[in-house]
Homo-oligomer: A and B are copies of this chain.
Amino acid sequence: MSVSPMVLLLSSLAPTASQAQDAPRPNVVIIFCDDLGYGDLGCYGNPTIATPNLDRMAAEGQRWTQFYVGASVCTPSRAALMTGRLPVRSGLCSGERRVLFPDSAGGIPASEITLAEALRDLGYDTGMVGKWHLGHLPPYLPTSNGFDSYFGIPYSNDMDRLPSAPEGRAAITKPRVEYFNVPLLRGTEVVERPADQRTITRRYTDEAVRFIDEHKGGNPFFLYLAHSMPHVPLFRSDEYEGVSRRGLYGDVIEEIDGSVGRVLDAIREGGISEETVVFFTSDNGPWLVFGRQGGTAGLLRNGKGSTWEGGMREPFLAWWPGTIPAGGMVRDLGATMDLYVTSILLAGGTPPGDRAIDGVDLRPAFFGAGPSPRDSMLYYRGTELYAARLGPYKAHFITEEAYGRDTNREAHDPPVLYHLEHDPSERFDVSAEHPGVIADIRALVDAHRETVEPVPNQLETRIGGE
């Protein structure tokens, strides 16, 4: 059981000959939400949010139940998806400022090879629509990092608050578009400011559908559609006002569900279903401190900002008619970093060999040909490793509340240990019963630490600062 991520990686990069030969080079579409909880979709047990399009996507494809993101907040999680690496390797994480802000001077380093760059080098057309949050200064924007085109907001929709906004939380819980001076970019140009967030999900969808229509039949394409929602402040278009039994939050999710329906319809009607793989997930768990305006992690503990399962385990759907078997549930482990590796392999390439990559090849699991090669997960908060999972066991070396003045940070030696598959809500510490498991997890962590090199922190530098 004592294996390092690098060992995992090497073994997982050897698909069988038949897999490599049979698979076409598909278009790749990644639909990424913001702060969506594990329990927010109908097909994940939500009682009052109707998600018929996502439920259908699940029924036609795969629904995963142990799928992870690279961090429990926005910037580092997106860095993990785009680089295939834990954010500690790119410098896009910090314990102080946990994400990039409008006054941040940093962003994704030029040395990183983004998924868009890797796929473009393999002949793909690349487009991004939505929230980026890996740096808003010119060198960091999507069009400087592998995307042919970009339409979206560069950071979170609750930033750039204007003096007209009420103090404190009221600006978020009773939001108006004009409170948040967030820019909407096309390429590198600001085309609207503040972005009209009421229509932003619809307009993202329009852009995504147009991209698909324009690119079908040409080169293979990579489309990254990163919704700004359901991150607070919540907005939805008139068409979705009051549609959900779940209130405003439900309306917002149901608009995203409608968006997924439009994207899949564009793929179906474009006749490219069998040559397009679509992944759906989110950057991190629900922002619980926002109460009814935040989502739910279902049976998982805690949410966004924490290294409990509710912060880093997400709904994940994979759809590729004719290749990914319909109606499957996958209870193996997966992570957004694996989408980096897997997408590059599907495109006929090889993940970068000159650096540590934390993703593994999920093709066996997608194709129904075998188990996922992932059997571990590392849970960072900022630059500190708080917890690690090996097989079904998760050890918490540090626990801490997600937010608040007193976050009750606590270090544990021995670590608190949960059997996540028997105890998905992390209720029953079994550390006393399994010293050998703890030793294995410590070895995993030690092996991982040896692969981490010091890099400049991208989140602490400020515009005009030192």
Query: Is there a chain B Cβ closer than 8 Å to A372's Cβ?
Result: no
Convert A403-428 into 0s and 1s, putting 1 for each residue whose CB lies closer than 8 angstroms to a CB of B: 00000000000000001011111011
A236 shortest CB reach to chain B, Å: 15
- Cross-chain contact B428 with A291 (CB below 8 angstroms): yes
> Which residues 22-64 in A have Cβ within 8 Å of B in the complex?
38-39, 42-48, 50, 52, 55, 59
Which residue of chain B has its CB nearest to the CB of A42?
Answer: B329
Query: Is there a chain B Cβ closer than 8 Å to A306's Cβ?
Result: no
Of the candidates A55, A298, A327, A419, the one having the most CB atoms from chain B within 10 angstroms of its own CB is A298
A59-B59, A291-B428, A299-B296 are known contacts. Are A65 and B44 too (CB-CB below 8 A)?
A: no
Query: Which of B291, B297, B329, B421 interacts with A246 by CB under 8 Å?
Result: B421
- Cross-chain contact B50 with A45 (CB below 8 angstroms): no
- Cross-chain contact B59 with A47 (CB below 8 angstroms): no
A237 shortest CB reach to chain B, Å: 20
Cβ contacts under 8 Å, A462 to chain B: none
- Cross-chain contact B48 with A421 (CB below 8 angstroms): yes
- Cross-chain contact B246 with A422 (CB below 8 angstroms): yes
- Cross-chain contact B45 with A299 (CB below 8 angstroms): yes
Cβ contacts under 8 Å, A425 to chain B: 296
A39-B299, A298-B298 are known contacts. Are A422 and B292 too (CB-CB below 8 A)?
A: yes
A394 shortest CB reach to chain B, Å: 13
- Cross-chain contact B65 with A298 (CB below 8 angstroms): no
Query: Is there a chain B Cβ closer than 8 Å to A166's Cβ?
Result: no
A245-B331, A298-B298 are known contacts. Are A47 and B424 too (CB-CB below 8 A)?
A: yes
Cβ contacts under 8 Å, A296 to chain B: 299, 424-425
A339 shortest CB reach to chain B, Å: 19
Complex Cα gap A250–B331 (Å): 13
The 7 A-B pairs of least Cβ separation, nearest first, read A45-B45, A47-B65, A247-B422, A48-B421, A44-B45, A245-B421, A39-B299
